[in-house]
Structure 1
Amino acid sequence: MSAGGGTKAIIAALVANAGIALAKFGGFLVTGSSSMLAESVHSVADTSNQGLLLLGKKTSQRKPTEEHPFGYGRDRYFYSFVVALMLFSLGSVFALYEGYHKIEHPEPLSTPWVAVVILVIAIALETFSFYTAIKESRAIKGDLSWWQFIRQAKTPELPVVLLEDAGALFGLILALGGVGLSVLTGNPVWDGIGTACIGVLLGVIAIVLIIETKSLLIGEGADRAVLGDIVSELTRERVEKVIHIRTQYIGPDELLIAAKIGLAPSLTVAEVAAEIDAAEARVRAKVPAARLMYLEPDLERATEDTPAEGAAAHHE
């Protein structure tokens, strides 16, 4: 996926969440609903999160320096990890606290119809944002299931936006349910229960994102399919075997490859250099993300790792 991939989904989510946050907070001031307050904070956090994702995409494009010779591609992973932490702290923890408070000290809602109208409009806007993220994700998801895509994607922004939008949409439904049940039963405790459910939902989503983005941040290797393509392209012409190989993503579109390759001992130095250049060109043509490649010619030894064993640990 290109560096620009996911930008449309992020901007759509940012615009939707900014407008929704203002509407929800206004609804809270009118109704006093804790569900509306929790959803207001949730939308403010989401708006900030989308800003951080855009910042990460921007800073990751900086040129390599002496201090960072491999560039700043992991900025995108770092800011995605910060987003996950913010979703947990500002979203989940606050909603759980507010829900507990409203359950312990329930207060009747005033003009609840205002909250209902705002929530229905917010659901429509979040549906649009969610649809945009799904549409952009389908272009790179391929045959993977949505869960596999979230687990295996090396580009962090789209999985983050997908889960954020899904959480926002279901959170709005929970808030609508809490307000609606409070009105129907005359018991404001339901508003607090809805708020607490929103907190649990956001907590689960945040934990999934924290686990996935942390894995990317500390370094993931190429998956089996990509690794197979790399080995296949290397072992052509006069490369007899890949003795061992290590891979690691240093950014969503930057794969580092280091490998020992077995060449015929009869080759001259010039022929070895030409074979290495040709092997690198073949790999880059098949795997465009393979921008950094270091191939070492060697003779096979019995103690060396096999290509599969030598591959960098990757996320299943």
Structure 2
Amino acid sequence: MSAQGGTRAIIAALLANFGIAVTKFVAYLLTSSSSMLAESIHSVADTGNQALLLLGGRRARRAATPQHPFGYGRERYVYAFIVAIVLFSLGGLFALYEAWHKWADRHGITSWQWVPVTVLVVAIVLESFSFRTAIRESNLVRGRESWIRFIRRAKAPELPVVLLEDFGALVGLVFALFGVGMTLATGDGRWDAAGTAMIGVLLVTIAIVLAVETKSLLLGEGAEPAEVAAIERAVAAGPEVERIIHMKTLYLGPEELLVAAKIVVPRCESAEDVARDIDAVEARIRAALPVARIIYLEPDIYHAEVGPAEASGRREN
């Protein structure tokens, strides 16, 4: 569900941003407003970012190979990290540079004065529809988590990325409207530069948040505590396992969890009995947590701890 919802949100954002980027750039050509130029580049960056997310999702579906035996699920994280870099450089740093340039050349908006305001208001409406789509699709998988926790804990990167981009786009449009409006009211182009600088700081901040969260996914995150508890309950639900010695989990992709555990099994008459019991445990784990697709269970026999004297005697023997 998260993959389908993420794709819908990405496509909605891509279509909206492409149309908005063209409109904003035309407005910049007519008015020479730095806020409009910064917003134009911002929308171009967002459009490219959504294309990158779609590409990452497509490449992640490739079948496993001998060189990549666990598949390509993490490609979605790689492309999400590239999105953060693009947003930081092409969006944020360009806006800050344009703000500095406009502050030095502080001309006001003397022609087509109604165009930037009209374009920005229409863009706010369009971005609101895109943002609403991202919120609706995120609510299907967010559950009762707060928005901050959802963005920090989501294993599928697409919805958090689109949410933050759309949020940044809406706030950036408000900043641009403020800068353009004050420039039109006062004739002082420094307000336009201030609005552009605010857009740049906003985009750099969002890009850093995205980079930090995506870096964690790239390094490899384990299952959430609730997921670990569900696995442990599934393992202990039958007589096949006496206890878990240790267990490690790792997300190979947003919808693929690796589970590796060393377990204590009761003494059996044959290896066939052990194999059958392990198959039963694996089936319970997958039923409890469908995302646990790759499971390795190592059986062991539990030995009670012995005292130093007894252990020393065993070594002597």
AA aligned opposite 1:259: A
User: Aligned equivalents of 2:160 and 2:304: distance in 1?
Assistant: 42
Once the two structures are superposed, residues 242-287 of structure 1 have per-residue CA deviations (whole angstroms, 9 ceiling, x without a partner) of 1100100010000001000111134532221111101100010111
Change (3 A) 1:94 1:114: same
2:29 is the counterpart of 1:29: yes
Please name the residue that 1:82 is paired with.
82
Q: Tell me the residue number matched to 2:283.
A: 281
- C-alpha distance in 2 between matches for 1:165 and 1:2: 18
Q: Which amino acid aligns with 2:99?
A: G
2: distance between equivalents of 1:267 and 1:224?
36
Deviation for aligned residue 1:212: 0.4
The number of residues matched between the two structures is 303
Q: Which amino acid aligns with 1:272?
A: V
In 2, Cα distance between equivalents of 1:97 and 1:74:
34
Could you tell me how far 1:53 is from its partner in structure 2? 0.3
Counterpart for residue 6 of structure 1: 6
Separation in 1, partners of 2:35, 2:223: 43
Unmatched segments (≥5 aa) in structure 1: 304-316
In 1: Cα distance, 2:118 partner to 2:27 partner = 9
Could you tell me how far 1:68 is from its partner in structure 2?
0.6
**What's the CA shift for 1:5?**
3.2
Partner residue, 1:205: 206
User: Unaligned 5+ residue runs, structure 2?
Assistant: 306-317
Match status 1:143 vs 2:128: no
**C-alpha distance in structure 2 between counterparts of 1:302 and 1:204, whole Å:** 54
Letter in 2 for 1:195: T
* Residue identity opposite 1:178 in structure 2: G
Aligned-partner Cα distance in 2 for 1:11–1:262: 49
SS at match of 2:4: coil
27-36 or 111-120: bigger deviation: 111-120
Deviation at 1:4, TM superposition (A): 2.7
Q: CA deviation at 1:193?
A: 0.2
Deviation at 1:2, TM superposition (A): 4.7
Query: Residues 82-161 of structure 1: matches in 2 within 5 Å?
Result: 82-109=82-109, 110-161=111-162
- Structure 1, 276-285 or 231-240: larger mean CA deviation: 231-240
Could you tell me which residue of structure 1 aligns to residue 315 of structure 2?
none
**Shift in CA distance, 232/189, structure 1 to aligned 2, threshold 3 Å:** same
Name the CA distance, whole Å, in 2 between partners of 1:205 and 1:151.
Answer: 13
Aligned to 2:42: 42
SS in structure 2 at match of 1:5: helix
TM (norm. structure 2) is 0.93
1:251 aligns with 2:253: yes
For the residues of structure 2 that align with 1:302 and 1:221, how far apart are their CA atoms? 30
Distance 1:196 1:300 in 2: 64
Aligned residue for 1:131, secondary structure, equals helix
- Deviation per CA, 1:140-184: give whole Å up to 9, x if none: 001100000000000000000000000000000000000001111
Structure 1 residues 300 and 104, CA gap change in structure 2 (3 angstroms):
farther
Q: Distance in 2 between matches of 1:245 and 1:195?
A: 51
Amino acid at match of 2:158: E
The runs of at least 4 aligned residues of structure 1 exceeding 6 Å deviation read: none
Return the alpha-carbon distance in structure 2 between the equivalents of residues 150 and 208 of structure 1: 10
**Corresponding residue number in structure 2 for 1:263:** 265
Q: CA separation in 2, counterparts of 1:17 and 1:301? A: 63
Matching residue's letter, 1:213: T
The aligned residue for residue 220 of structure 2 is 219
Secondary structure in structure 2 of the residue aligned to 1:155: coil
Structure number with bigger Rg:
2
| Contact 1:28–1:34 under 8 Å retained in 2 | yes
SS at match of 2:67: coil
Please state how far the C-alpha of 1:302 moved relative to its aligned partner: 8.2
| 2:221 is equivalent to residue 182 of structure 1 | no
Q: Which amino acid aligns with 2:123?
A: A
Distance 1:173 1:288, change over 3 A: same
Shift, 1:236, TM fit = 2.1
| Aligned equivalents of 1:190, 1:101: Cα separation in 2 | 13
CA distance in structure 1 between the aligned counterparts of 2:2 and 2:159, rounded to whole angstroms: 12
Query: Aligned partner of 1:231: which letter?
Result: E
Note the C-alpha offset of 1:132: 0.1
C-alpha separation in 2, matches of 1:217 and 1:184: 48
The 3 A distance-change label for structure 1 pair 301 and 245 is farther
- RMSD over equivalenced CA pairs, Å: 1.3
